[in-house]
Amino acid sequence: MDRPIGSIVVTLLGTGTPNPSPRRFGPATLVQAGGLDLLFDAGRGCPIRLAQCGVPLGRVAAVFLTHFHSDHVNGLADLWLSSFIPPAWGGRRTPLRLFGPPGTARMAHHLREAFADDIRIRMADEAVPEEATRMVAQDFPVTGGVVFEAAGVRVTAFEVDHGVHIRPAVGFRIDHAGRSVLLSGDTKPHPNVLAHGAGVDLLVHEVCALPMALAGRPIPRAIADHHTAPAEAGAIFAATRPRLAAYTHIVQIAAPDVAPVPLEAIEAETRAVYDGPLILGEDLMRFTITAEGVSVGRVG
C-alpha cells in the first residue's frame, strides 16, 4: 500500500473481546508511520489480520502491550514464532522488539523457555539465525512517558485504570509529522486520556455496553465497572474534540436470557453527549491521517 509522506495509517486488526468471534478478532491495532509497522496489543488472530493487510510478520518493527489480560497477548507467541519462519510472509532476521509495562520482559523470557524446542528445531532444520528468534523486551514505568522514538515516530505511554487488580494498564499516543493518534487501551474514564487525547487527529477508545436487565447481576456489573460506557466515552470525545473518534474493543455484555445492547444503541448513547465525527470500528477498518484530514477505508 502506498502511504502519503508524513501520514499515519491505523488499521484495526481486532476489535473484539475474549469471546472467540470469527467476525471480531482479539484486540490489536496496526499503526504505520515513518516507514515502520508498529503493533499495539497482540490479540487472537493478529498474524492472520496482518497477512490480510499485506504486512509480512517479519516486518513488524515493534509490539507494544497495554496490559496482560490474555485477550491482548494471546496472539503474541504466534506472531513472534511465525515471524522468523523463512518464507516471505515471515522472514525476520533480527529480534522482535517488545515494549510494555512491568512484567513484559518476564513474559518474553518464559515464552522463549516454553518454545525452546521449536526454536532449536527451526534453527537446525531451516537455518533460522539465532538472532532472529529473539525478543528484545523492555519494561517501561507504569507512569509512562516516551517509550519509543525512531524514524520520526514517537510513542508515549500513559497510565489508565482498568480496575484495582489489573495493574499495570496503559494507553498510548503516537505522534508523527504533526499527526497524532491516541489508543485508550482498556480503561474506565481516566484524566490521562483527556490530557493526552486533547485535539488528536484520531482517538480510538474502548467501549462497554451493559443491558439494564443485567445491571443488578454481579458478574456483568463487575465487567462493566472495568470499562467505559458509551455515554462516558461520548463525554471524553466531547472534551478532547478529536478530528475523528472511533470505537474498538467493543464489549457487548449479554446473558442467555438477555440480548446485548445493539451497536445502534451504543452509537445513540454516545451521540447523546457528543456531536462530532464517530466511527464504530470493525476488523480491518483503516484510517489514513494526513494534514487534510482522516479518511476511512477498509482493507481489501
Q: What b/e readout covers 25-45, taking b as 16+ CB neighbours within 10 angstroms?
A: bbbbbbbbbbebbbbbbbbbb
What string of DSSP letters covers 205-218?
EEEEE--GGGTTSH
> Is the full-model pTM beyond 0.95?
yes
The predicted structure's pLDDT at residue 1: 59
Q: Where are the beta strands (DSSP E) in 210-298?
A: 244-252, 278-280, 285-290, 293-298
Q: Give all domains of the chain, ordered by start, each with its CATH number.
A: 8-298 (3.60.15.10)
Q: What stretch of H or E contains 268?
A: helix 263-271
Query: Which cell numbers in the block locate residue 296?
Result: 476511512
**Digits of tens for pLDDT over the chain (300 positions)?**
567 888 999 999 999 999 999 999 999 999 999 999 999 999 999 999 999 999 999 999 999 999 999 999 999 999 999 999 999 999 999 999 999 999 999 999 999 999 999 999 999 999 999 999 999 999 999 888 999 999 999 999 999 999 999 999 999 999 999 999 999 999 999 999 999 999 999 999 999 999 999 999 999 999 999 999 999 999 999 999 999 999 999 999 999 999 999 999 999 999 999 999 999 999 999 999 999 999 999 998
Q: Provide the pLDDT for residue 235.
A: 98
- Distance (Å, whole) CA 285 – CA 33: 17
Report pLDDT digits (tens) over 197-215. Answer: 999 999 999 999 999 999 9
* Residues annotated as part of the active site: 71
Instruction: Return the pLDDT at 144.
Output: 86
- Chain position carrying cell 494534514: 291
Res 5: pLDDT: 85
C-alpha distance across the termini of the chain, in Å: 11
Alpha helices (runs of H) in 115-262, residue ranges in sequence order: 116-126, 191-197, 218-224, 230-240
Give dist(CA 252, CA 258) in Å, integer.
Answer: 11
Residues in a beta bridge with 196: none
